[in-house]
Chains A and B, each alone.
Chain A
Amino acid sequence: MIYVIDDDEIMAGCIERACGELREVKIFTNGIEAAQALDQTGVPDLIFLDILLDGPDGFTFLNELASYADTAVVPVVVVSSLDLAGRDLSVYNVVGVLDKNTMLPEEIKNYVVQYDENKNDA
């Protein structure tokens, strides 16, 4: 299962389509809904996370993830138009940063494939 957290539903839909039809994708427009869903749906395999969200921002959600043992290991791909160059986000298990202004659907798909493979290896 993949979480897409973005307050822009159209952008979230684009990311969902790029993930591929066979993937189960859940879209959340804010971090609170996504955090609540973690208890109900279980831990996702991968999260695409926007930073500038309505309500608590993406960093708050990253801290929430990092505070529990089971969610701290979930790979997160940050999808933002903020300039995050030079920021070390690996402490949050952020495995990639995609710039909304330049990203390609293939890049999104590559992360999905990569973490599918990792899951299969494990």
Chain B
Amino acid sequence: MEAEVDGILVAAHELKAPLAVLRQLALTLPGMDAEGEHTRNEMVSVSERAIKQVNDLIKIRRLEDGLFEMEPVAVRVVCDEVARELMYLFDYNRRELFIKYSNRARLVTANRDLLHSVVYNFLLNAMHYSGEGTRAELNVKDFQGKVKIMVRDYGPALPMDVWREMKRGWIEKPTSIAMRPGSSGLGLYIASKFSRYMNAKVGAVRHRDGTSFYVEMPVSKQTSLFA
């Protein structure tokens, strides 16, 4: 089992270098017309997303080493950061991103990088499944002594068997949730792994016109400097 995991780690490291080169090649292409610029931006964006997923796979392997420290994290700051990162992609794909914060507890106990990846993967998933011209919603609220970060899409409803799997609080492997068209479920698998490490619960809510994925983060007892 260990050898299999390390194989993934080696493959991930091997993939990172050519992806970084492709991104850099796109960035250093000489000036071009608007269509060319558009293509360049797409190449950079696709490469960056792939690099991020590869980095996340490497982090999954490192979870076992317990190297990710838990600390008080300002949840809105992380969500804003991810939203800024993905705004280009939402605009490009003609999706709207609606953000609503109603949480009073500002700090959660988390690892900042891992939480960033969880929100990133939720939002990317929502963007992928929301139809053109529709919107995805990021909603952060207090819930039973925790902070609930919920991302809703207006895509295909989540199949019942997948919903059951998520109900137990984590996802076993990516292929087990290859349930909606065009997805291996890798992003949600990553989010699930990271959430579990942070002692947070992930789950899903089925809607007739889409799905919400959420993570419930434990509130930090440290007084927020921003409160």
Contact = CB atoms under 8 A, between A and B. Distances in A.
Interface of A: 8, 10-11, 14, 17-18, 81, 100-105
Contact of A11 (B20, B48, B55): B20
A17 B28 contact: yes
Interface residues of B, number: 13
Contacts of B17: 8, 11, 81, 100
Interface string B1-44: 00000000000000011011101110110000000000000000
Nearest to A14: B24
A105 B27 contact: yes
10 shortest interchain CB distances as A-B pairs: A14-B24, A100-B20, A101-B51, A17-B28, A14-B28, A10-B21, A11-B21, A101-B20, A105-B28, A105-B27
A8 B16 contact: no
Given A101-B51, A101-B55, A14 B25 contact: yes
Nearest to B19: A101
Contact of B25 (A10, A81, A100): A10
B30 to A, nearest CB: 9
Interface in B126-179: none
Given A10-B21, A14-B21, A101 B16 contact: yes
A102 B47 CA distance: 10
A103 B27 CA distance: 10
A17 B20 CA distance: 16
Given A101-B51, A104-B27, A105-B24, 17 more contacts: A8-B21, A10-B21, A10-B25, A11-B17, A11-B20, A14-B21, A14-B24, A14-B27, A81-B16, A81-B17, A100-B20, A100-B24, A101-B20, A101-B23, A101-B48, A102-B48, A105-B28
Contacts of B21: 8, 10-11, 14
Contacts of A81: 16-17, 20
Contacts of B28: 14, 17-18, 105
A14 B21 CA distance: 8
A46 B28 CA distance: 20
